[in-house]
Structure 1
Amino acid sequence: MTGPADPYDAAPPYPQYPEYPKAPPAAAAHVPPQPRPDHDDLHYRHAPGTRVHYRARQRSADATALGRLALHLPAFLSSLLVVLGTSALSEAWIGLPAWVPTALWLGSGALAFHRPSERFLARHLLRLQYPLPAERALLAPVWREVTARAGVDGDRYELWVEDSNQLNALAAAGHIVAVTRQALEHLPPAQLAAVLAHELGHHTAGHSWAGLLGWWYALPGRLAWRGLTAAVIRLVRVASGFSYLAAGILLVVIGWLALATLTLTYGLPLLLLVLPYATAAVGRRAELRADAHAAELGFAPMLARMLHDVLADESGGAGARGDLPGLLSTHPDHRTRLHHLQRYLEPRGR
């Protein structure tokens, strides 16, 4: 009896899956120990047609996802003020009720889970490409194995390829999982599975959609700030063209307005200077949690092997960063990731 139709039937045939080991006969007194498998070999447990048990709840929002949303709250409020101000101007100029564009902007975050909008994001903003048939033949069985081990319906996600010579992968929006062509062509199947399990962890823990929503709802405020900064710089340059005295007076007025704003808001805008560092720290924690997700699915040795290889290829290694640019990095260094993976590599007592 054949199993249910597989979504990747159009792809070239899958690799030969190993059969499940049979119980030894009762007469066998001793079974010689089996050698440990190479970490570059992926042992497929879920061939097409085998039964897969899906978890009842396949998505959640862990502390890092909620923390990321909380850190974007000031930027969201700033953007809301910008949208309300723009909507009020549109009502005064063209008679459009102010609540209409505001409501449309507030509801636009749902597009992060809209498949056509995600495809537009993948193709035109992230510059991703659909996998070629040969690439899908490599990705499909590995992705099936990863999602089956996680108890997740892999058909809910779309696989993409980034034309890059860097060893990388990404998870975005609600359903995008992408790997670079370098990773697809050079990583062994087991290490490719570890990378995909890491990205799946970002999706199941809510990191991907939280990051995208935070970026989207902060965009109007960020654009308004850049426009205001450019206008002030332009104004100062124009004033200095007349006289240095005019430029100095203008700078004093701008400084007074900034001080008055800080006084009226009890210095709350100064918190915006700290937010990038806090956001980066939450991002590093999210990466470690995604590593833990891959390790819990059995891919810790493969992930550690890949990190060791990348660390060896880098000149001087990816050592711990103690400077300010390091504090702004959203990814922990490889040594930190290996340190947190160590507990999954140690043998566990029975």
Structure 2
Amino acid sequence: MDSPSYPGDAVPAPRAGGGSPQAPAAAYATSATPYAAPLPLGPTAHPTPVPGPAADHDDLALDQGRRMVKAVQRGIDGAALSHLLVTVPLGLISLAVVAIVSGLITPVLALIVPVAWLLSGPLVFHRGVESAIARYLFGMRGPTPEEAQRLDVVWEQVTRRAGVDRETYELWIQERTELNATAAAGHIVAVTRHAMERLPNSRLGAVLAHELGHHVGGHTWAAMLADWYALPARAAGRAVLALLFLLFRTKHWAGIACGGCLSLMIVQFLFLMTFVEGMWWLVLPVAAGPLVIARLHRRAEFRADAYAVGLGFGEALEDVLMAEARAAAVPGAPPYGPAPVPPGVPPFQQPYPGQYQAPQPYPGQYQAPQPYPGQYQAPQPYPGHGHPVPPNLGPGKAADSGRLVAKAAHTNAEARLRNVRLVMSQQVQRSVP
């Protein structure tokens, strides 16, 4: 297959039928501010959309006329190909697991089941199977008539700029409170309902263009195929870890002894496979696989962002990533900042609909004394439970866990934002004579 083109090369094809040619991709991405160096994470010159139903969604410049559809609708880039190669050793282990488990039932199944399992991979790209995966595995739904009408306008512009047949992919809705979209299987592009409500058409087109970049680059189908063939090996590994955890958790000498013996057997088996049998080429990639795959996922995100910038959605994608960075830096905060306060209302934090409000004391009612700063305060039970804190999780651990998750998400959004600005800077430099 031909490799998809990325920033600088993703220029929309000229229109057929005598129309004027489309502007280069850089014309969509350039702005009055030069991107000679990465910009600080802060407010940009272009306006930020107003959250809520009052936002003006119709801000996407519509491109009329016919467009030339590319002969190759999708390909496979370096990130997708590397993902497949990294999971080959894990796939071989999965094949052995399937053969051993089926052979324990009957020797005939040891020959039939592994072959059937190998041939079952392409079935995940059947339209009916994809619909079942989207509906029951990812919790997606079909768009309502109003949502379909709006998505139709935005998707038409995204596919027109990319030169991709719009009927190649199906649009779905996810009930999630994130400004995001998802590419799944081989023909599914899903956008969250929260993004439909909060984002104007230009920024909605940016997230859809990002997901189209995943499909065009082959990231989606390569990841799904790799996950499918690695599933038996990962299930066997998790079963062994669960057994070890159960044995050591018994706190009985017999369980601890069995867990120690099993751990020594695993270490001895890995040592023999690596150094005695010379199968390091199988053991080392499996051990380093998670780190390599995480790096490839990040590279695929950068490629998809660059593809969206090449289609002219650079500034819109920058706004979306900045909103994600703000939301990740302050967990629970609205992505586009707090809602505006109407005139005359005091600037106090208002409860959201359905939130419990403690009753206010009436005049003369006894009030328990409040602890002074630094005084110990006994933990209060959380709603629906009698004990003061969740079992095995103190307030310090919960806060630390939340901070780590928020920091990781914030770092990812910042890295993508720097990459988008770098690609936009490169496009500006190419457009300067």
What TM-score range do you get, normalising by the shorter chain?
0.7 to 0.9
Equivalents in 1 of 2:432, 2:163: separation in Å? Answer: 26
- Cα displacement (A) at 1:97: 4.2
Letter paired with 2:273: T
Distance 1:105 1:291, change over 3 A: same
Distance 1:336 1:228, change over 3 A: closer
Equivalent position of 1:250 in the other structure: 258
SS of alignment partner, residue 98 of structure 1: helix
- Cα displacement (A) at 1:100: 1.7
Equivalents in 2 of 1:298, 1:156: separation in Å? Answer: 21
- Structure 1 residue ranges without an equivalent (≥5): 1-19, 22-34, 318-324
Greater relative contact order (Cα 8 A, min sep 6): structure 1 or 2?
A: 2
- Cα displacement (A) at 1:259: 2.9
Alignment map for 1:1-350 (pairs within 5 Å): 41-46=59-64, 50-92=65-107, 96-235=108-247, 241=252, 244=253, 246-247=254-255, 249-266=257-274, 268=280, 269=283, 271-315=285-329, 333-346=412-425, 347=428, 348-350=431-433
Distance 1:236 1:194, change over 3 A: closer
CA contact 1:143–1:193 (8 Å) conserved in 2: yes
- Structure 2 residue ranges without an equivalent (≥5): 1-18, 21-30, 33-45, 50-58, 332-403
Greater Cα offset, 197-206 or 261-270: 261-270
- Cα displacement (A) at 1:158: 0.4
Describe the superposition over 1:186-236 as per-residue Cα deviations: whole angstroms up to 9, x where unpaired: 111011111100000000100001111111111111112222333344455
Equivalent position of 2:380 in the other structure: none
- Cα displacement (A) at 1:311: 2.7
SS of alignment partner, residue 225 of structure 1: helix
SS of alignment partner, residue 231 of structure 2: helix
CA contact 2:329–2:410 (8 Å) conserved in 1: no
Identity rate of aligned residues, in percent?
39
Letter paired with 1:63: G
Q: TM-score, normalised by structure 2?
A: 0.63
Equivalents in 1 of 2:314, 2:255: separation in Å? Answer: 60
Equivalent position of 1:8 in the other structure: none
Letter paired with 2:159: T
Equivalents in 1 of 2:304, 2:102: separation in Å? Answer: 40
Distance 1:151 1:235, change over 3 A: same
Equivalents in 2 of 1:51, 1:149: separation in Å? Answer: 11
Describe the superposition over 1:114-141 as per-residue Cα deviations: whole angstroms up to 9, x where unpaired: 0000000000000000000000011001
Describe the superposition over 1:236-280 as per-residue Cα deviations: whole angstroms up to 9, x where unpaired: 567x64xx2x44543443243123212211164455342211111
Letter paired with 1:349: V
Describe the superposition over 1:24-47 as per-residue Cα deviations: whole angstroms up to 9, x where unpaired: xxxxxxxxxxx98x777311114x
Letter paired with 1:107: L
Equivalents in 2 of 1:161, 1:237: separation in Å? Answer: 42
Greater Cα offset, 112-121 or 304-313: 304-313
CA contact 1:112–1:209 (8 Å) conserved in 2: no
CA contact 2:140–2:190 (8 Å) conserved in 1: yes
Q: How many residues align?
A: 300
Distance 1:284 1:236, change over 3 A: closer
CA contact 1:287–1:331 (8 Å) conserved in 2: no
